[in-house]
Amino acid sequence: MEKITGSEALIRSLLEENVKTVFGYPGGQIMPVFDKLYDYTDKLKHILVRHEQGAVHAAQGFARVSGDVGVVLVTSGPGATNVITGVADAMIDSTPLVVITGQVPSPLLGTDAFQETDVVGITLPITKWSYQIQSADEIPWAIARAFYIARSGRPGPVVIDFPKNAQIGMMNFDYKKCDFIRSYRPVPHTDPHSLIQAASMINKAEKPFIIFGQGIVLSEAEKELKHLIEKTGIPAASTLLGLSALPSDYKQYKGMVGMHGNLGPNKKTNECDVLIAIGMRFDDRVTSDINTYAKQAKVIHIDIDPSEIGKNVPANIGILGNAKDVLQKLIPMLEKREFKQWSNEFDELNEIENQKVIIPETLPTDGDLNMGEVVAKVSELTNNNAIIVTDVGQNQMMAARYSKFNNTRSFVSSGGLGTMGFGLPAAIGAKIASPDKHVCFFTGDGGIQMTIQELGTILQENTGVKIIILNNSWLGMVRQWQELFFEERYSETSMKNPNFIALAAAYGIKGRKVEKREDLDGAIKEMLSDNEPFLLEVNVIEKGMVFPMIPGGKCVSKMMLTTTEWH
């Protein structure tokens, strides 16, 4: 065995895990690793972000599109604390990350040394595993274990705190990949009896309904989900993070559930007799008032995480396991059926939404540009093949509602944490993961400014992200709530913005501003004409609204179609 430094052992361990890209920012307590990285630039690409929060969001975007573990490398103290938001975001959205933070030498721990923070203590509640390496000899073991934990079972973030003495210490390098931890059971045993019970319940159902989430994507169960729908004829709808698991035009796909989801699947949730939830967690943005949610239905909940079964919505039958494996076992037990009348009821409601909301939003004939028509036009001109990344707010909901998808892993957004500023660095990571596809990033004038420094990363890497700012000069989603529920008291939501086109130009990024409807097509085509970065700013209606909407805490079967009309 060759004797090498801990820093080189880290680099070699990452290579053993087939890591090719790392997102990070150097600093004093991680400098030995960055020095050794200098010798491996032909094998390991480092993306220099402009802020550590950008590193972790970029790693999230990379992981969500590629399916690989995203890797982050930052220094101690503020470098470590700057990744906390992204780590929490990754935890709630089940994104596999390995975040490596520099740390002061072990003898200085607990002395309030310069740039010392208790990284393990801070991150334990928001990670699958958080560990501080004590000596160079531990590095291969810790990294192998970190990757196994991050990618297995329900994926999530792992933090490895790396004191400087371990970085410069010598060790005999011997790497063994980890595929078992005695106390860790990433994929629970699936009870065959629960499958038999579920099949019987589904075969007897008169109005069954499937809601699927990101668990379909994470388990690569898209093919099995299609097979389930084709065999049973059951209508299906997606959560926000389940978007793109099925093509948008797929037979029996009825749209998205949730606060700004589609009318049909939301209302039919409270009319179905069997609700089959696959790889989703019944969060409050899906259920709204939990006391009125699907009370008439028998619930079958399929999830890899035992803690999710019955946590929010009681399950008549809970099936533990990887969604792909569970569906492969369940489908042969199901009868071939059709539910034409039941399926048509979804379509009838969605047609009401189409006439009342979608057509006015996407095909207006006069007035200011709408957010929805911009999103719909971008989707159309990319032939629904783009990877859509969003920030958080009205832009996020509009992108989710009006983008169409042909391919899985094509929608990247901050779901559970709702992190403004997520989108720009996540789009950079998504583009690095899929360089041959258009990555179209929708953001608002508020969200873009939270991590706008990452335009510098685009400049340095020439990452061909297409940035679409839906500029209404407001913090749009908060303003919408203020209009509907706070008597139009617009407290601190009006935005005075910079010249975004000039700002993009300062970073060497081409840009164009659109204020008139007749200029929109040409501007989007110009944006999509090459693989270079581009910033398209579109001035949209100032007080645009995202409808339909289930007001917070209200019943899912009662949706607002306009400010005055309910269904």
Q: Which position among 164, 254, 324, 466 bears the catalytic label?
A: 164
Asked if residues 61 and 427 have their Cβ atoms less than 8 Å apart, the reply is yes
pLDDT of residue 258: 98
CA gap 320, 97 in Å, rounded: 24
Beta strand extents in 408-533 (DSSP E only):
411-412, 439-444, 465-471, 510-514
Write phi, then psi, for 491 (nearest 5 degrees): -85, 110
Average pLDDT, integer, range 476-498: 97
Average pLDDT of the chain? 97
CA gap 193, 511 in Å, rounded: 59
Is the confidence at residue 259, as pLDDT, over 80? yes
Active site residue 397: no
Average pLDDT, integer, range 527-554: 97
pTM of this prediction exceeds 0.95: yes
CA gap 247, 231 in Å, rounded: 17
CA gap 70, 59 in Å, rounded: 5
Q: Burial code of 92-125, b = ≥16 C-beta within 10 A, e = fewer?
A: bbbbbbbbbbbbbebeebeeeeebbbebbebbee
Q: Which position among 2, 20, 114, 170 bears the catalytic label?
A: 114
pLDDT of residue 549: 98
Average pLDDT, integer, range 41-62: 98
The SS3 of residue 3 is strand
Is the confidence at residue 527, as pLDDT, over 90? yes
pLDDT of residue 125: 98
Is the confidence at residue 296, as pLDDT, over 80? yes
Average pLDDT, integer, range 260-270: 98
Is the confidence at residue 563, as pLDDT, over 90? yes
pLDDT in tens, 384-443: 999 999 999 999 999 999 999 999 999 999 999 999 999 999 999 999 999 999 999 999
CA gap 468, 322 in Å, rounded: 36
Is the confidence at residue 29, as pLDDT, over 90? yes
CA gap 135, 141 in Å, rounded: 11
Asked if residues 416 and 86 have their Cβ atoms less than 8 Å apart, the reply is no
Average pLDDT, integer, range 176-185: 96
Letter for the amino acid at 365?
T
The SS3 of residue 149 is helix
pLDDT of residue 538: 98
Beta bridge partners of 159: 99, 130
Active site residue 114: yes
Is the confidence at residue 154, as pLDDT, over 80? yes
Q: Helices marked H in 498-561 — which ranges?
A: 500-506, 520-527
Q: Which position among 171, 201, 420, 477 bears the catalytic label?
A: 477
Asked if residues 312 and 281 have their Cβ atoms less than 8 Å apart, the reply is yes
In this prediction, residue 368 has a pLDDT band, given cuts at 50, 70 and 90, of very high
Tokens (6 digits) for 522:
């040409």
Write phi, then psi, for 346 (nearest 5 degrees): -60, -45
pLDDT of residue 1: 74
Q: Which position among 115, 134, 328, 453 bears the catalytic label?
A: 115
Letter for the amino acid at 497?
N
pLDDT of residue 284: 96
Average pLDDT, integer, range 280-300: 97
pLDDT of residue 2: 84
Is the confidence at residue 119, as pLDDT, over 90? yes
Active site residue 164: yes
In this prediction, residue 59 has a pLDDT band, given cuts at 50, 70 and 90, of very high
pLDDT of residue 508: 98
Is the confidence at residue 129, as pLDDT, over 90? yes
CA gap 473, 329 in Å, rounded: 52
All residues at 6 or more sequence positions from 173 whose CB lies less than 8 Å from its CB, including other chains: 1, 2, 3, 4, 8, 9, 12, 140
Q: Which position among 8, 17, 52, 353 bears the catalytic label?
A: 52
